[in-house]
């Protein structure tokens, strides 16, 4: 199950972006997941709370996943 590792990397990118832009609260993250990426959206959603545990910035954030044809992972939007 590589979804947790991917989520931890995602959280790191979001945290760096938030720090750079002085953002204090993230409401949602929109992630595009390609059907050829091997990522299982169910596990991404299930494990998201574990990946953001102890991070006030993302405490109540929602993970929005959009499946797309033939692509990997793309962070499409971060709501703040």
Output the domain CATH number for residue 43: 3.30.2320.50
- Under 8 Å CB-to-CB from 62, ≥6 apart: which residues? 27, 28, 29
| Mean pLDDT of all residues in 67-71 | 75
Question: Which tokens go with 27?
Answer: 């409401």
Number of domains into which the chain is organized: 1
pLDDT tens sequence across 16-50: 999 999 999 999 999 888 877 888 899 999 999 99
For residue 43, the model assigns a pLDDT of 93
Supply the range of the domain harboring residue 75: 3-79
Decide if pLDDT at 79 tops 80: no
For residue 21, the model assigns a pLDDT of 94
pLDDT top residue among 78 and 80: 78
Alpha carbon distance 76, 32 (integer Å): 6
């Amino acid at each position: 199950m590589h979804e947790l590792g991917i989520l931890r990397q995602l959280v790191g990118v979001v945290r760096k972006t938030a720090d750079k832009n002085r953002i204090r609260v993230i409401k949602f993250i929109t992630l595009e997941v390609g059907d050829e990426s091997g990522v299982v959206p169910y596990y991404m959603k299930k494990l998201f709370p574990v990946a953001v545990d102890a991070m006030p910035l993302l405490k109540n954030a929602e993970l929005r996943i959009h499946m797309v044809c033939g692509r990997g992972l793309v962070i499409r939007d971060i709501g703040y």
